[in-house]
Amino acid sequence: MLMDNLFFQDPKDHNEFTVFQDEAGCKVSNYFYHGFLFIDNRFGREILDSLINIKKDEGNRYTEVHFVYIKASSNEEYGYKTRIALKWLNLASEWLVNRKLRFYVLGINKNNLGNFWNNNWRYEKNIYLRFFELGLKASISWFGNDKKLVKPLRASHLFYEYGKYNDDRRDKVIWLSKFNFGNLLTNQNIQSIFSDEKKQQKQNSLLSEFSNLDQLTDLMLGVSKYSFIKVNPKHVGKQECIDRFIDIIEKFNNQKIAFNTNDGFYKNFSFSFFPKNRINKKDFLKKNTNYYIKSKDNFYCDRLTYRQQLAKNQNLTFNF
């Protein structure tokens, strides 16, 4: 069974991870995000069972946990979706420290990036696919260089939520696999998946439980995205989720401490933004992916969260 291949094999030559990808746009800040969740296959069954059991405990086994669905409840401070999300985030924090999963966020600053492409695709599609490619390669490269890994990292499977650009994303991964990507993924191991478990059961029942891992990817990316903008005060559930994860996020968007090799989250969680400065067409189109991964000038991680922005403004007021 496919589940056995994912979570119960122990390859002799590699430490295998299953990768889940999700994306999110932000009209408020004009940023676009890709998130890549790496599940260590040795702990995949444990992680999946824990997520599902939390839903069972809340009496909502098949509910979808997406950050956008988390809002205030009229009857209490927040509802069952928020309770599930908070428990999931608590576990995610533990799993990050225990190196059972890893999370990579690439935020695209569209304010500094023009429409440089010479094809007929829409700007949004060009942005999506270019940085899907870059984020996947950068995340595997970054986590793969972890000196604490006993065996080399290998991405055994890649899942992305069923939707637009399915074939284009698949083509990108296949193309990457042919060029200095270590043949980490094969065609049959690149698959779209529904975030709705019941829909996924109808399409491929063997993968239906994996919808929960897709939802976890969405939740962690949503918390990351909303940490940088003001949240509707009525959405106390969203804010509670952000507050639960904000210390991790602020640790890794600080240039001075993000690369502390002694930190428990180092090489397990990563935040990167691009580009720091306005980039012109020649610099963008004439360079390959490796150039952008290694380009320190245009990648940055020192972007203030909304909480940090407020604190900075208050300090400026006090100083005045």
- Mean pLDDT for 115-125 is 89
- Identify the band that residue 293 occupies on the pLDDT scale cut at 50, 70 and 90: low
- Mean pLDDT for 188-208 is 91
- Mean pLDDT for 277-295 is 78
Q: What is the pLDDT of residue 195?
A: 95
Of 163, 138, 155, the residue nearest 24 (C-alpha) = 163
- Identify the band that residue 139 occupies on the pLDDT scale cut at 50, 70 and 90: very high
- Identify the band that residue 1 occupies on the pLDDT scale cut at 50, 70 and 90: very low
List the domain boundaries for the chain.
2-319
The model's pTM is 0.91
How many helical (H) and strand (E) elements, i.e. helices and strands, does the chain have? 11, 6
Q: What is the pLDDT of residue 319?
A: 43
pLDDT digits (tens, 9 = 90+) for 5-40: 566 666 778 888 999 999 999 999 999 999 999 999
- Mean pLDDT for 226-241 is 93
Top-confidence residue, 70 or 48: 48
Q: What is the pLDDT of residue 181?
A: 55
What does pLDDT average to over the chain? Answer: 87
- Mean pLDDT for 227-241 is 93
Q: What is the pLDDT of residue 217?
A: 98
- Rounded-to-5 percentages of helix, strand, coil across the chain: 50, 15, 35
Q: What is the pLDDT of residue 77?
A: 57
- Identify the band that residue 74 occupies on the pLDDT scale cut at 50, 70 and 90: low
- Mean pLDDT for 157-172 is 88
Length of the chain: 320
Q: Which of 83-97, 124-138, 286-300 has the highest mean pLDDT?
A: 83-97
pLDDT of residue 73 exceeding 80, the answer is no
- Identify the band that residue 238 occupies on the pLDDT scale cut at 50, 70 and 90: very high
Neighbours of 139 (CB within 10 A): 25
Residue 193 token pair: 């998946």
Strand ranges for the chain from DSSP E: 15-26, 31-40, 101-109, 153-161, 190-193, 269-274
- Give the bridge partners for 18, in sequence order: 39, 157
Q: What is the pLDDT of residue 88?
A: 98
Neighbours of 277 (CB within 10 A): 11
- Identify the band that residue 304 occupies on the pLDDT scale cut at 50, 70 and 90: very high
- Mean pLDDT for 215-240 is 95
- Identify the band that residue 249 occupies on the pLDDT scale cut at 50, 70 and 90: very high
Q: What is the pLDDT of residue 296?
A: 66
Q: How far apart are CA 197 and CA 199, in angstroms?
A: 5
